Amino acid sequence: MGYIARHYHMDLALVWALRFIESFFILAHKNTGETTRIAFLNGDWRDFESTPASKEKPDKSITIFDYHRVLSKTGWKITHRIECPLSSERLSGNQVQKMQDKRILGTVGRTLLIAKRS
């Protein structure tokens, strides 16, 4: 594995993911009618499985703020934001205990962004 892949793989993955999302929103904008609405269900992309909350780096994640910025930049206007809880059954008691011991914040929901063409 090369130096860049070892030391910057997370940064590159974030850049590629945001570029992909941006490209999709541009394509959707170009190929839809003026009254089109888009719904985007997402969750923050963070290293919450192994990093204590106090050591997380915001520039090493993709959050709702990034999704909002990309939608706006590509010609969409957010009209609604809906919080969608996930079942608590997706985390076992052991997983929750480990996260508590390491002071890791877990994600138990997704955000639904609804936007219209602007």
Q: What is the pLDDT of residues 79-89, one digit of tens each?
A: 999 999 887 67
Euclidean distance between the first and final Cα of the chain, in Å? 44
Distance CA 24, CA 39 (A): 13
Distance CA 68, CA 74 (A): 10
How do residues 7-48 score in pLDDT, each as one tens digit?
445 577 888 889 999 999 999 999 999 999 999 999 888 766
Q: Taking the model in full, what pTM does it have?
A: 0.78
Distance CA 16, CA 6 (A): 16
Tokens of 76: 């969409």
Provide the H-helix boundaries in the chain.
3-30, 64-73, 93-102
